[in-house]
């Protein structure tokens, strides 16, 4: 059996001091590592408040940013893989919502730029427009690791099944989703989306959220989770800041796919034939 321990780091990320947030992220990752995590995962926009007015101010350019160096150092010094949540990335005057991924030598082995920007206006509840500051990513992200291929999405990306299917069909066995659903979308859709994407593609999906802070303008739902290829939630946090290390069995993917061969039964010739 191929087992893997994943550390979900559900941290509070709304301090206006960027260095305080970086320090907190390092500390919470180290807690997960002490519990045996082989891959540690941070939330979306963990180094800054989740507010478009802060994104450019907190942005970093690879490889020289304080946050980026910290992620690489934690990976190298502890011989773990790091899925670095997401941070604002600056590239040629454009800002992206980007997840940097590092191997156990501290090398950056991939990054995902959020492809679908959160531009919503739910009457009387949530209004947010990331595109006022952020630019779209333009790729599905698949990364080779010593356990096989993994994929990365960021938050709103999970609502678009085409992206997850692309990664699954190209060999990703686990997809990591740093995400900050709010108190409107979280209770309504968080669990449904993660379970649906996992069972549709018969893969593991790991969703890591910031902890909930009800005193801030954007209140995250929390409830970081791991969903298995059968669509079952195997590990879940509540809304508070915490660490959870969950073990998964990658051989279970093959077992599920043999018993219910959904991906073998796909018929793209039908889906492209519209009358």
* Residues recognised as catalytic: 44, 114, 155
Q: Which long-range contacts (CB under 8 A, 24 or more apart) does 255-259 make?
A: 256/202, 256/229, 256/230, 257/202, 257/229
Q: How many CB atoms lie within 10 A of CB 42?
A: 30
Kind plus residue range of the DSSP H or E element containing 23: helix 18-34
Torsion angles phi and psi, residue 54, rounded to 5? -100, -15
Q: Which long-range contacts (CB under 8 A, 24 or more apart) does 230-237 make?
A: 230/198, 230/199, 230/256, 231/195, 231/196, 231/198, 231/199, 232/195, 233/191, 233/194, 233/195, 235/8, 237/8, 237/10
CA dihedral 242, 10, 121, 198 (to 10 degrees): -110
User: What does each C-alpha distance from 12 to 20, 28, 36, 75, 261 come to in angstroms?
Assistant: 11, 10, 22, 21, 40
The rounded distance, in Å, linking the Cα atoms of 207 and 158 is 10
């Amino acid at each position: 059996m191929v087992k893997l321990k994943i550390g979900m780091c559900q941290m509070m990320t709304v301090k206006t001091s960027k260095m305080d947030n970086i320090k907190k992220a390092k500390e919470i990752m180290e807690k997960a590592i002490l519990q045996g995590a082989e891959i540690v995962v941070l939330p979306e926009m963990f180094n800054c408040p989740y507010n478009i007015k802060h994104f450019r101010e907190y942005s970093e350019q690879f490889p020289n940013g304080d946050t980026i160096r910290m992620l690489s150092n934690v990976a190298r010094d502890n011989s773990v893989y790091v899925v670095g949540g997401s941070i604002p990335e600056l590239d040629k005057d454009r800002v992206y919502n980007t997840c940097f991924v590092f191997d156990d030598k501290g090398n950056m082995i991939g990054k995902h730029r959020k492809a679908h920007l959160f531009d919503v206006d739910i009457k009387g509840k949530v209004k947010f427009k990331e595109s006022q500051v952020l630019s779209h990513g333009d790729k599905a992200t698949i990364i080779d690791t010593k356990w096989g291929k993994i994929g990365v999405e960021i938050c709103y990306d999970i609502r678009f099944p085409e992206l997850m299917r692309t990664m699954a069909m190209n060999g990703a066995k686990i997809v990591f989703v740093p995400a900050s659903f709010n108190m409107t979308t979280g209770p309504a859709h968080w669990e449904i989306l993660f379970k649906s994407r996992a069972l549709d593609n018969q893969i593991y999906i790991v969703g890591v959220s910031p902890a909930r802070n009800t005193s801030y303008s954007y209140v995250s739902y929390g409830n970081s989770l791991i969903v298995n290829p059968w669509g079952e939630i195997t590990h879940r946090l509540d809304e508070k800041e915490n660490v959870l290390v969950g073990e998964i069995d990658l051989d279970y993917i093959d077992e599920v796919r043999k018993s219910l061969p959904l991906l073998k039964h796909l018929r793209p010739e039908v889906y492209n034939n519209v009358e």
